[in-house]
Structure 1
């Protein structure tokens, strides 16, 4: 059966072929006795003009003797002659003279063709011959039924004999291959059908498979498909051009792999994740599995050990992603290729490698490549590239690629190790600076949560504190330092200590923030000589004082979000007063905000990490936290958990600190007030009142000491102040004795001499009490002392 029935319609004839060339017949005298239509087409002379005339008239500047010699030759002779056309042009032609055996009217047959046309045909013929026999481009022709008709020498070599495939479907050429280009039909039969149906060529599709002549190594070809038609436009079939681009394709893959590795490996600053990134980049393009073996010290962020045996005491991490990564201990004997690679700091290739030495690795593989993870300082570990499904061994270029990937991974692991060490140091510093245990208070019930920022960001500068104050009051503070890292943590610790020191001076919140603002501004000025970047600039802070006797809470804010309050009924409110400027800016003065809180109210102090992130604006976060506080009857520990459970999932971009305070009030059973007129005789009355109150509270053992303290404090107030004096006794975790007067003069502790009549009162108070001090109010001052309960 003719597999290419239209092939006869294609003109493959030479211009000198009798079916195309100009022909004429000469007699034995050199006259034209025959003049064909093809000769008329070439030179334009009609038969009527040429028959019987000498052929020499057609020659341009060529002697007639040469023509006579060509006609009388005993065999065919060819030459190049300039022939005259009917319109006066000259055509250079290739002419062949073929003498006949007999002489007479038809003695010689002359065949002529345009020389340029002949040379063009010869060049095309040489090109076609080269494509068929010498070109590296594989050419395959298919008929209209998509069956193989013909293939050139390149195709013949790839298929180990094209003759075995003639007449078979196109899909039989590489049955296990696949197209790896997109947006085209999935197999060759559908590609050819598309080309035959639409006439649209498909150019540059990449086809991957194994050639019959080389079944072990995978090849990649660039294939193009075209439709074949004759001069009349009738369909002949199709043909395929294929070029083996395996080396170029693999070079491009290696380049793209390095580009992808540069973007992905080492971006996480996490040792395990960096190992997972190496595996994710290298699998499956370079290897079927990647194992990373590291010393435990490197995984924990410490310096790699020195002096230990290569390959001993490592942790193997294997998997495609960080979630899939598993860690198992592994050790290699000194004679193993792994130990050799670590000892020599060079890659080692092993074919048909067994499983892991501990017996927990995968089964045998075709080839393994061991590459040490090197930095300038030390060998961090070992990367193993393993092939199990790909039988090709690791070539020189692939080894170079694996070494480059290992170098990138080593830099990423070393950076992650150093960062982990610094992060752990900062985290330890920060935790040591934050309160480890909050003091127990009868005034409030407290719960707190602190969530550090994601490890890639670094620890932040959030802080909080609960400070016991005189008069059973409690100071509550929360703040935030701009920035992350060790400097932010150190700045946080310094500011927290400063706030605690100022709070113990019994300053009101606005005055405390004013003094703190001055200190931060002075620190900023003194640090300008050391360069920019002081984390103390832009610090926010909120400080509040709660007094359980009257349920009064006073707070002031330096750029910090105000607290949210949920009263005992569950209704939630927050202050409409805008916070003052952050610390260190020396801007507007700070103002106190006073709230009256019912017993059982819940007050939420928080940093912006609780209510704001990249995905949530601060208003939405405050609404979310306020909704949680409507469940204020729950224990504060449970409320803390509820509040943090509403945070968006994923790593925290900033520290989040939440301090919840449920308030209590001290009733009449715990507080006794007595107002005394300014009369020295009232000192005895104050002592008697104190003794009776202590007896009522069951604290008679403290009567003598308490009466002494009250006597001295009341005497001091009446001596140096004008107006009435107020005595308050508070039974809390201590017995508190407070005497308030209208004077603003500061009492001073003195050591009286033997001959002094006074000056021993405060000295006695300081000796018998645990603590004593003075706090100032808008109407005067209060001197207080704490006595330990028996």
Structure 2
């Protein structure tokens, strides 16, 4: 018994220390005068100063509380009655600290010694800031769904929206609707042209200050460019913007900039009012210094609110043919979005010009997990330029399918351009449009982590390395497309590290920006989201639309996952076929490929390795790549091309590639300095 009594204080001390050092809940011990005796050191949000500077001070001297009178009454009540208080929501921030307060669920228990003397209280504080934010967002969205859209009037619907989001979700809210929609006309397709006027239909401010208006309600004007407002309606993506005195685009909107500064707004969300691909308007939400900064959760809520409001606006104007018309226009006008590959993230920027022009960008998958990146433009404007661009795009897609190296692809593409120009020479004089253009074509290999680039009269890309360094590689520009004379095209292979960003652009970017220094400054932070980098480039462009459309394609590179590729060296011997089949069988079983695909893969491996042993030379190599497709590659040192032929009935062999062509979704041959690689793909 004596032994237990001796150990008990040590155990109590250990438990007490663990409670304060390891508990995920914030803990405070207050004496009977509500002075802080001890604080949980694992909760930095509860103390910006060291604990030694906090202990001994009154609770209200250390913290600003959302309702100090109610909190003090609760603490005194627990001291007097001994009845614990549980789960009281209290807003807390360190005394005089800037920024928003944190929300805590506070529970209080009285502390007594073994003789029943009151020592103070234990305060448990659980951070529920994010939970309460989520609940608040749900309440706001529920209120919007219930109260917005009560009438079949566009202006009334917008006013209802402002009433529901101010002040619970925004300190300032502005709704602008395409003027044609107000009159009941068909909404324009996306992207919205710069000249399309919008009417300010509703405005709300939590302070009720009419001086915060940049423009009065009812004002009709096109949105200023370049700003987050215009860019949101150009690509139908929301923008989350932090506002400050050095925000670059405020100079383009002096009246709005003055109103933003006067309101002390620090955070902005712009969300498009869209429905089935058409643009109805724009919702702009601001928060001032009295509220938290917006975050990505708030962007999601803004999009949901905008979607509901757009549907209500659509019902109000009784629009019945919008979907068919909008989709038809989009299919014929809008450029396709770049396809995302496993090892390449992409984003793009398109700034239309007054003169128009034929330009574009493209990304598509190649064999061996590689990705092709292309940016180019052709001389001319209007339907002639668009037709030429379509012809050239078809040509380079066909050439890329042949696994040509970038310099050889541009040479063949140049031959195509010369041929098309000769055909046009036979047309009547009014239809003889010149056929000249430029192109940057690159192939990224994630297995080797290299990018091979060739240029045809095109500016070189900017490369941003993961450490923030940027460079413009010294590449041969090559002659423009359509040139019968000039130096040969050249390809340069550049190593690229994981997280590097490649920036390809059209020459028009150099006319609307002082130099590539602007692009390099933006790309000096390559870890930022690619779309944010595109937006920053846009905000720094001069509003000069006389030099053709601006296209920018950003690509962030990553290596191919090591566990999704397997490579084996093979002996140049007939036994290599059985060895290759066995290793392929083990690997695809490890990857969990279905039985049918596994059997087909074994057949393909057998036929390709047999051909390599019979007709190729050392070294022999087998590689399997598991991506969205399952690729089998067999490399040998013989540069001669294999030929697919249809064997006769009496032939004992000669059907290898024919069998592969029937089994695979796609197959081809890729040449290199040390031989060739025959590959075959299956869709997973």
TM-score w.r.t. the length of structure 1 is 0.44
Residue in 2 that maps onto 1:668: 562
- Which of 667, 679, 684 aligns to 1:784? It is 679
Which among 465, 478, 481 is matched to residue 580 of structure 1? 478
How many angstroms apart in 2 are the aligned matches of 1:534 and 1:573? 40
Segments of 5+ residues of structure 1 without an aligned counterpart are 1-294, 302-322, 328-424
How far is 1:450 from its partner? 1.7
Residue 398 of structure 2 is matched in structure 1 by 501
Distance 1:544 1:535 in 2: 28
> How far apart are the structure 2 equivalents of 1:735 and 1:298?
47
Pairwise CA distance, 1:571: 0.5
For 1:724, the equivalent position in structure 2 comes to 619
Given candidates 712, 715, 729, the residue that maps to 2:610 is 715
Q: Does 1:445 align with 2:339?
A: no
Instruction: Pick closer, same or farther for the CA change 1:296–1:659 going to 2, 3 Å.
Output: same
Equivalence for 1:590:
489
* Residue number in structure 1 paired with 2:236: none
Asked if 1 retains the 8 angstrom alpha-carbon contact of 2:476 and 2:490, the reply is no
What does residue 436 of structure 2 align with? Answer: 538
Deviation at 1:642, TM superposition (A): 1.4
Task: Mark the CA change 1:429 to 1:657 in structure 2 (over 3 Å): closer, same or farther.
Answer: farther
Q: Do the aligned partners of residues 709 and 622 (structure 1) sit closer, same or farther apart at CA in structure 2, a change above 3 Å counting? A: same
**Residues 298 and 700 of structure 1: CA distance in aligned 2, closer, same or farther (over 3 Å):** closer
State the Cα distance separating 1:651 from its structure 2 match. 4.4
Matches within 5 A, 1:159-308: none
**Residue deviations 1:544-583, cap 9 Å, x none?**
1011101111010011011110011111001123411111
**Bigger radius of gyration, 1 or 2?**
1
Q: Do the aligned residues in 2 keep the contact of 1:563 with 1:604 (CA within 8 Å)? A: yes
Q: Please name the residue that 2:19 is paired with.
A: none
Take 1:688 and 1:482, find their aligned partners in 2: how far apart are those partners? Answer: 55
Q: Distance in 2 between matches of 1:633 and 1:591?
A: 31
- In structure 2, do the counterparts of structure 1 residues 588 and 532 end up closer, same or farther at CA, with 3 Å as the change threshold? farther
**Does the aligned pair in 1 maintain the 2:518–2:540 contact within 8 Å?**
yes
> Take 1:630 and 1:716, find their aligned partners in 2: how far apart are those partners?
49
Structure 1 segment 111-190 matched on structure 2, within 5 A:
none
SS of corresponding position for 2:521: helix
Distance 2:328 2:542 in 1: 26
Structure with the greater relative contact order (CA < 8 A, sep ≥ 6): 1 or 2? 2
Instruction: Establish whether residue 745 from structure 1 lines up as the match of residue 640 from structure 2.
Output: yes
d(CA) in 1 for partners of 2:384 and 2:510? 24
2:378 and 2:385 in contact (8 A); partners too: yes
What is the distance in 2 between the residues matched to 1:651 and 1:537?
A: 22
Q: What is the CA distance between 1:487 and its match in structure 2?
A: 0.7
Residue 529 (structure 1) aligns with: 426
Deviation, structure 1 residue 529: 3.0
Q: Is the 8 A contact 1:434 1:493 kept in 2?
A: no
Q: State the Cα distance separating 1:296 from its structure 2 match.
A: 10
Structure 1 position 622 matched with structure 2 position 516: yes
Say what the alpha-carbon RMSD is for the aligned residues: 3.5
Cα 1:578–1:752 change in 2 (3 A) is closer
Q: Is 1:466 the equivalent of 2:363?
A: yes
Instruction: Report the TM-score when normalising by structure 2.
Output: 0.51
Q: Distance in 1 between matches of 2:384 and 2:678?
A: 40
Any residues of structure 2 matched to 1:576-655 within 5 Å, and which? 576-586=474-484, 587-613=486-512, 616=513, 620-649=514-543, 651=545, 653-655=547-549
Residues 639-663 of structure 1, C-alpha deviations (whole Å, 9 max, x = no match): 1111112111364641011110000
Where in structure 2 are the equivalents of 1:32-43 lying within 5 Å? none
SS state at 1:470 partner: coil
Shift in CA distance, 471/525, structure 1 to aligned 2, threshold 3 Å: same
Q: Structure 1 residues 326 and 626, CA, compared in 2 at 3 Å: closer, same or farther? A: closer
Equivalenced residues, count: 375
List runs of 5+ in structure 2 lacking aligned partners.
Answer: 1-182, 190-217, 223-324
Q: Tell whether the 8 Å contact from 1:676 to 1:727 is kept in structure 2 after alignment.
A: yes
* Alpha-carbon distance between aligned partners in 2 of 1:644 and 1:589, rounded to the nearest angstrom: 35
Aligned to 1:683: 577
User: What is the deviation of 1:596?
Assistant: 0.4
- Residue 434 of structure 1 and its aligned partner are, at CA, apart by 6.6
Equivalent position SS for 2:426:
helix
